[in-house]
Structures are given as C-alpha cells and as structure tokens.
C-alpha cells in the first residue's frame, strides 16, 4: 500500500511538472499582474495603518503573504534548487520542507539586516539597497547555487563510477570451482574475517563501555545531509526579496518599521508556500521513480542518474543567470 501511494505521488509530481512547463508563460503573466495588484493594495494598507486603522494590520499581513506567493511564481532559482535537491538526494519531505521554510525566512532576515544596516547606519537610499540586493547578493546566491549543482554532479558521478567498477564480470567456465576450492582450503581465513568484522563493529559501539567510538554510517549520512541542507538554505537566504526591501524602507520612513518587519516575514512565508510545492515535486519524482526497486543495482543506478541530471539542471540555470552561457 505504501509503495502504491509513493508511486501515485510520483505520477502526480510528474503531471505537475508537465503542466507547469506547458503553461509557464501564462502562469508568469498572471503572477506579474497579481504582483502589481498586491503592490497597490500594500500602499493602501500602509496608509491606513499610518492613519491608525485598527484592522489594517491583518489586511497588511494578508497582502504580504499573497505578494510573497505570487512573487515566488516569477523568475527565481530558489524553488528550482529546492526541487532539484529533493529529486537528487534521499532527503525526507519533512526535513526538506523545514529547510524550505528556513531558507525563505532567511531571506526576510537578510532584508531586515540590510535595511537596518544600510539605512540606519550608512544612510543608504532605497535604490542603492535594491541595487545591492539585485547585483552583488544575487550574484553571490547564483555562485552558491552553481557550486551546489557541481557538488551534486560530482556525487552522482562518483556513485555511477562505483556501480560501473563493481559490476559483475562474466567468468570463464570452471572458475567458480577454483574459488570454492580456495575458500574450502582457507577455513581459518573465514574465521579471521569474522573476528575482523567484530572489531569493526566494536569501533561503532563498545558493548562494555556503552559509548560510540566512531560514527556509524547512518550518523555520517545524516551529518552530511544536514551540511548540504545548510548550504542550500544559505544559497537561497543570501538573496533578499526586493519587495521586502521596498516595504521595509517605506515603513521606516513612515515610522511604522515594526509593521514592515512583520510584513517581510509574512512575504517570506508566502514564498515558502510556493517553494514547498517544488519540494513536493522533487521528492515525489524521486520516490516514484525508485518505488519497488528495493536494494537492487537498478535503484542505485536510478539514484545516481537523478543526482547527475538534477545537478546538471542546477548548474545550467545558475550559469545562465551568471551570464556564463
């Protein structure tokens, strides 16, 4: 039953990819129009809030949430990175969702720090802050995304290389008999191998002292996953939303900065809602593709292929954004 549900999720994810690709232009046009409408609504809400309207706070937060969602629909590589990572690496959907929300909230933190530091300490103008966000910080974000894509390609290539290196080689007739005779004549070696295995297991956990003397493979994999997810979060969070910068500067000038900070985080949550869809699509495609493969060589081959393809897509998108291709 569980495998059937995973397969269904994979089919749904694939259908979403096809639909989004077919209607991408119309979706972007719709999002651009909605973004302008939300911007106009934000201006009215800010004026109402400044005038002391008690209900303006709730209206402002709702508009910021919606603005963040439609803003994320437009061009941007954060959602592609999240989706590609979900397709490339065996990361749980819950963990990837948490990383998605953290990355979006990180963008709000970057915007707040940028405005507080730029306007408060250095009297930088809104246009200068926007230019900084859209040039230097954006370039840093794209470079980080490019490096993550290259890392995925490297990992996928290594896994594919190991599969090729360990592929069974056809043996001539009678060769197995020679091996069997060799094993039979070295029974003590098998016993030594068993003792060696015991020593290796003891490295992971000592039964007498109860302490782990070396990390288990599962612990190493979990630590690697955490480091990789931290890199993904940083690559996205380093680039703040230009709409959040505009909101923060306006509320600073109007004397209602607290509303601007709250609105920036509401925008981030709206962005996260869209990016979570990318996370679902990525993990759904991966899990649907490997459902039923078990621990077979085919499973390892498909996993390596997903990692290589996802890394290549990320690299191409980042390189295009950087003007390298």
In a domain, 275, yes or no: yes
Task: Give CA–CA dist 179/117, Å, rounded.
Answer: 72
Determine contact, residues 304/108, Cβ cutoff 8 Å: no
92: its two tokens: 């749980």
Kindly give the confidence (pLDDT) of every residue in the chain, 325 residues in length, as a single tens digit, with 9 standing for 90 and above: 666 777 777 788 878 888 888 888 898 899 889 989 999 999 999 999 999 887 899 999 999 999 999 999 877 778 989 999 999 988 888 999 999 999 999 999 999 999 999 887 877 888 888 888 889 999 999 999 999 999 999 999 998 998 888 866 656 555 544 444 443 444 443 344 444 444 444 434 444 444 444 455 555 456 557 889 999 999 999 999 889 999 999 999 999 999 999 999 999 999 999 999 999 999 998 888 887 676 677 788 888 899 999 999 999 999 999 999 8
HEC string for the chain: CHHHHHHHHHHHHHHHHHHHHHCHHHHHHHHHHHHHHHHHHHHHHHHHHHCCCCCHHHHHHHHHHHHHHHHHHCCCCHHHHHHHHHHHCCCCHHHHHHHHHHHHHHHHHHHHHHHHHHHHHHCCCHHHHHHHHHHHHHHHHHHHHHHHHHHHHHHHHHHHHHHHHCCCCCCCCCHHHHHHHHHHCCHHHHHHHHHHHHHHHHHHCCCCCCCCCCCCHHHHHHHHHHHHHHHHHHHHHCCCCHHHHHHHHHHHHHCCHHHHHHHHHHHHHHHHHHHHHHHHHHHHHHHHHHCCCCCCHHHHHHHHHHHHHHHHHHHHHHHHHCCCC
What pLDDT does 162 receive? Answer: 87
What pLDDT does 292 receive? Answer: 66
- Give which of 142, 133, 39 is closest to 124, Cα–Cα: 133
What pLDDT does 1 receive? Answer: 66
In a domain, 200, yes or no: no
In a domain, 197, yes or no: no
16 burial (CB, 10 Å; 0-12 / 13-18 / 19+) is middle
In a domain, 258, yes or no: yes
Task: Give CA–CA dist 207/190, Å, rounded.
Answer: 23
What pLDDT does 186 receive? Answer: 44
- Give which of 83, 135, 137 is closest to 110, Cα–Cα: 137
Q: How many residues does the chain have?
A: 325
Q: Supply φ then ψ for residue 256, to 5 degrees.
A: -130, 50
35: its two tokens: 């973004």
In a domain, 204, yes or no: no
Range of the domain at 286: 2-166+213-321
**Residue 204 vs residues 193, 195, 200, 208, 298: alpha-carbon distances, Å:** 17, 15, 7, 12, 30
In a domain, 72, yes or no: yes
In a domain, 180, yes or no: no
What pLDDT does 221 receive? Answer: 55
Task: Give CA–CA dist 321/187, Å, rounded.
Answer: 62
What pLDDT does 24 receive? Answer: 83
In a domain, 308, yes or no: yes
Mention every residue, 6+ apart, whose C-beta is less than 8 A from residue 229. 85, 91, 95, 96, 99
Number of domains in the chain: 1
What pLDDT does 324 receive? Answer: 93
């Amino acid at each position: 039953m569980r495998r059937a549900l995973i397969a269904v999720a994979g089919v749904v994810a694939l259908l979403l990819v096809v639909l989004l690709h077919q209607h991408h232009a119309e979706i972007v046009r719709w999002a651009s129009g909605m973004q302008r409408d939300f911007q106009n609504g934000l201006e009215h809400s800010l004026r109402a809030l400044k005038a002391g309207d008690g209900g303006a706070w709730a209206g402002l937060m709702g508009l910021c949430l919606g603005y963040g969602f439609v803003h994320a629909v437009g061009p941007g590589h954060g959602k592609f990175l999240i989706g590609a990572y979900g397709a490339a690496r065996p990361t749980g959907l819950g963990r990837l969702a948490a990383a998605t929300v953290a990355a979006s909230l990180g963008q709000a933190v970057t915007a707040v720090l940028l405005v507080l530091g730029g306007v408060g300490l250095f009297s930088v103008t809104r246009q200068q802050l926007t230019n900084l966000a859209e040039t230097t910080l954006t370039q840093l974000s794209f470079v980080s995304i490019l490096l993550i894509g290259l890392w995925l390609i490297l990992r996928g290539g290594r896994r594919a290389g190991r599969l090729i290196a360990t592929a069974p080689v056809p043996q001539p007739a009678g060769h197995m008999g020679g091996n069997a005779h060799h094993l039979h004549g070295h029974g003590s070696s098998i016993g030594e191998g068993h003792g060696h295995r015991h020593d290796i297991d003891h490295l992971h956990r000592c039964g007498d002292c109860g302490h782990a003397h070396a990390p288990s493979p599962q612990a190493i994999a979990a630590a690697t996953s955490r480091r990789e997810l931290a890199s993904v979060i940083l690559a996205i969070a380093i680039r703040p939303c230009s709409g959040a910068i505009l909101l923060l500067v306006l509320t600073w000038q109007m004397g209602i900065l607290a509303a601007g900070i709250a609105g920036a985080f509401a925008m981030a949550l709206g962005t996260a809602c869209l990016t979570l869809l990318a996370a679902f699509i990525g993990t759904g495609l991966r899990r649907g593709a490997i459902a039923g493969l078990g621990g077979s060589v085919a499973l390892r081959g498909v996993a390596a292929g997903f990692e290589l393809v996802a890394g290549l897509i990320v690299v191409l998108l980042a390189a295009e954004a950087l003007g390298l291709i």
